[in-house]
Amino acid sequence: GAPGRETGGPGIAGRCLGVGGGRGSPGAAARLGVSSGGLWPQLRSPEDPRGALLLAHSLGASLSWSTLPLGEPTTVHLSPRANPFPSTFARPAIPIKFSEKQQASHYLYVRAHGVRQGTKSTWPQKRTLFVLNVPPYCTEESLSRLLSSCGLVQSVELQEKPDLAESPKESRSKFFHPKPVPGFQVAYVVFQKPSGVSAALALKGPLLVSTESHPVKSGIHKWISDYADSVPDPEALRVEVDTFMEAYDQKIAEEEAKAKEEEGVPDEEGWVKVTRRGRRPVLPRTEAASLRVLERERRKRARKELLNFYAWQHRESKMEHLAQLRKKFEEDKQRIELLRAQRKFRPY
């Protein structure tokens, strides 16, 4: 039988949307006069989710580490060999190794999560530990286990780069947004109590990611289990698609109903919104369409123009030809100069 209403005929027919038209952008402005610039924003939906997203990003970027309160810089001059654990610096560094077999270790740089006044962050203040330089083999579970000695860990989130907002959990579909291969990451560790953060800041280490009791897979073991995980499960995928599309259909149906309601109803200033669902098709309000119109205009004008009709036109076109030749000559000379510099005229 049909697997789901997405691929069945009626499923698609249910979401009847025009192909040629733009995305719900009526030609109202074009029809009602371009001068209505003040009105147009009112016709548009007030929130632009993309704009909001952009804002968050720019905030995150403007927040740099150097502006945060740091400890006093020390003047200790040591090589790492002499002092393998430079945690004596003001900045707490916790050595971390994959297992006992390794000689050298990486260093986790940790500090309590805090932001400037006025910046919003979804991570709870005081209880969140911000960790830099988490090695690629360190997973969320192992980090949680390693830090649990400092206090109960509520959640651990690994991210590619510092980001103040907690990433939205629901968009992480296993099928449509697969996890990228991890490199060195940053982590936000939320403890249940603020004391966990201070305990972690004082942690000496070295931490071991993989121990006998809690082995972490790497290399061949990891790749084989990754491969097994990646073998797709069609049923789960089908269920996910169905749920998503149901929600989507509902959203579209609501929008449609709203648009139908508004159709033909003048707003307080008397403007009528024309949508592409109207009876007469309108020009889609896209850049391509407006360029097409301009081009047609230009061609119409060019057809009327007379070429080389007056003496001055003739003279000018001759001069233009000469200028082209001169330009070409200059270009050629430059090319030759370059080839000569590269000794490209030695035939053998």
Residues 217-246 that bind another protein (CB under 8 A): 218-221, 223-224, 226-228, 231-234, 237-238, 241, 244-245
Q: Is the peptide bond before 206 cis (omega within 30 degrees of 0)?
A: yes
Work out which of 31, 32, 59, 98 binds another protein, going by CB under 8 A.
98
Rounded Cα distance between 321 and 204, Å, is 79
Rounded Cα distance between 106 and 137, Å, is 12
CA-to-CA dists, residue 29 to 25, 39, 291, angstroms: 10, 9, 16
Interacting residues with another protein between 25 and 54 (CB under 8 A): 25, 29, 37, 40-41, 43-44, 48
In this structure, what token pair is assigned to residue 265? 């109803």
Q: Which stretch binds another protein (CB under 8 A): 115-123, 175-183, 273-281, 302-310?
A: 175-183
Q: Which stretch binds another protein (CB under 8 A): 95-103, 141-149, 270-278, 298-306?
A: 95-103
Q: Which residues pair with 208 in a beta bridge?
A: 97
Work out which of 132, 199, 282, 283 binds another protein, going by CB under 8 A.
132
Q: What is the DSSP letter of 240?
A: H
Q: Which stretch binds another protein (CB under 8 A): 5-13, 116-124, 260-268, 294-302?
A: 5-13
Half-sphere exposure of 347 (CA within 13 A, CB side): 0
Q: How far is the CB of 292 from another protein (least distance, A)?
A: 13
Q: SS in 3 state form for 244-271?
A: HHHHHHHHHHHHHHHHHHHCCCCCCCCC
Interaction pattern, residues 53-72, with another protein; x per rule: CB under 8 A: -----------xxx------
| 109: contact with another protein by CB under 8 A | yes
| 256: contact with another protein by CB under 8 A | no
Residues 244, 248, 252: CA angle, nearest 5 degrees: 175
| 23: contact with another protein by CB under 8 A | yes
